[in-house]
Amino acid sequence: MRAFIFPGQGSQTVGMGQALSAASAVAREVFQEVDEALGQHLSRLMAEGPAEELMLTENAQPAIMANAIATLRVLEREGGIRLADKAEFVAGHSLGEYTALCAAGALGLAETARLLRIRGQAMQAAVPVGEGAMAALLGLDFEAARQIAADAAEGEVCEAANDNAPGQVVVSGSKAAVERAVELAKVRGGKRAMLLPVSAPFHCSLMEPAARAMEKALAGADLRAPLVPVYANVTAAPVADAATIRTLLVEQVTGTVRWRESVEAMAAAGVAEFIEFGGKVLGPMVKRIAPDATPTSIVTMDDIEALSKAL
């Protein structure tokens, strides 16, 4: 069995999609449709930078999605591949869940781009710059990291935001509380703990205003049942009902990204092959979570051609 998976924020880089766009009219169509949906030359920003502007959450989220969907569309159109014939499930990390839904036909490309623009703006606006933080706690299991976050809160917000892989948990919340969590992790057996260079404290209760913004945006979105089930971040379980997906996407803004559990569940369901489109971030995580699985990253035209022959 096979799952198609899609990366989250942090996989953006200046030059992303440029070679693919030069090589394929299909990729250029994807980037053009996203540009038109946003009323912005996002593809130029992706290709040329500046990096500081591309890293802004409201730009990074649709850019990462567009790059991943372009990669998939080239495979589908030029390789004659149908996702529903080649993958039993789709999944994505944080914003990648929207990409997964787009890939599986639950959301149109233009609508996905607009939703991610709203999501990025709302998440950035939810907490004034400098008041929130996120930190990676390495070498601790999820329960230990969650307890450290709870103990570090001291009346402020500090919560487990991303359960990425064994020994890799990200906490999020008020800056002082997250800084306390970093220090606590060091004395409670963590191998390493460090603040992350992010612009807002994602996936914690401080994002509640962003959740309300997404509830409103998703209420008016044309969201259909996906061609194959999507593993939801907040439940680590497959879902194929549009109304449920809508609810879970709202919960996802403040909820923990349960990526480790999602991969474990897919592997337990029989998935042996995980194909990541548009990034090289999730593959190493998959290998740590499910050592017997085979992860593949698809980024270049050569990657796409090799996968087309292999499927």
Q: What is the pLDDT of residues 255-305, one digit of tens each?
A: 999 999 999 999 999 999 999 999 999 999 999 999 999 999 999 999 999
Same-domain status, 90 and 10: yes
Same-domain status, 211 and 80: yes
pLDDT at 11 over 80: no
Residue that terminates a domain, selected from 198, 216, 232: 198
Most confident of 5-14, 125-134, 205-214: 205-214
Same-domain status, 239 and 285: yes
Q: Are 205 and 255 in contact (CB under 8 A)?
A: no
Mean pLDDT along residues 130-151: 96
> Which pLDDT belongs to residue 162?
97
Q: Are 12 and 96 in contact (CB under 8 A)?
A: no
Buried b (16+ CB within 10 A) or exposed e, 128-143: eeeebbbbbbbbbebe
Residue that terminates a domain, selected from 167, 198, 229: 198
Mean pLDDT along residues 39-48: 95
pLDDT digits (tens, 9 = 90+) for 218-253: 999 999 999 999 999 999 999 999 999 999 999 999
Same-domain status, 160 and 111: no
Count of domains for the chain:
2
pTM for this model (two decimals) = 0.96
Same-domain status, 241 and 306: yes
Q: Are 96 and 252 in contact (CB under 8 A)?
A: no
Q: Is the peptide bond before 50 cis (omega within 30 degrees of 0)?
A: yes
Residue type at 138 in one-letter notation: L
Same-domain status, 182 and 58: no
pLDDT at 133 over 90: yes
> Which pLDDT belongs to residue 197?
84
Residues assigned a catalytic role: 94, 203
CA distances from 224 to 57, 201, 221, 229, 258 (A): 26, 30, 9, 12, 23
pLDDT at 114 over 90: yes
Same-domain status, 157 and 67: no
d(CA 241, CA 265) in angstroms, rounded, equals: 19
CATH number at residue 119: 3.40.366.10
> Which pLDDT belongs to residue 65?
97
> Which pLDDT belongs to residue 285?
96
Same-domain status, 302 and 264: yes
Same-domain status, 225 and 296: yes
Q: Are 3 and 274 in contact (CB under 8 A)?
A: yes
> Which pLDDT belongs to residue 10?
79
Question: Residue 199: which pLDDT band, with cuts at 50, 70 and 90?
Answer: confident
Token reading at 195: 């603040």
Mean pLDDT along residues 2-23: 92
Same-domain status, 191 and 47: no
Domain around 191: 132-198
d(CA 24, CA 8) in angstroms, rounded, equals: 24
Per-chain mean pLDDT for the chain: 96
Same-domain status, 122 and 218: yes
> Which pLDDT belongs to residue 12?
85
* Candidate from 46-60, 134-148, 223-237 with smallest mean pLDDT: 46-60
- If one compares 55 and 10, the residue with the highest pLDDT of the two is 55
pLDDT at 28 over 90: yes
pLDDT at 134 over 80: yes
CATH number at residue 164: 3.30.70.250
Q: Which residue has the tokens 């603040």?
A: 195
Residue that terminates a domain, selected from 198, 214, 244: 198
Same-domain status, 172 and 188: yes
> Which pLDDT belongs to residue 198?
84
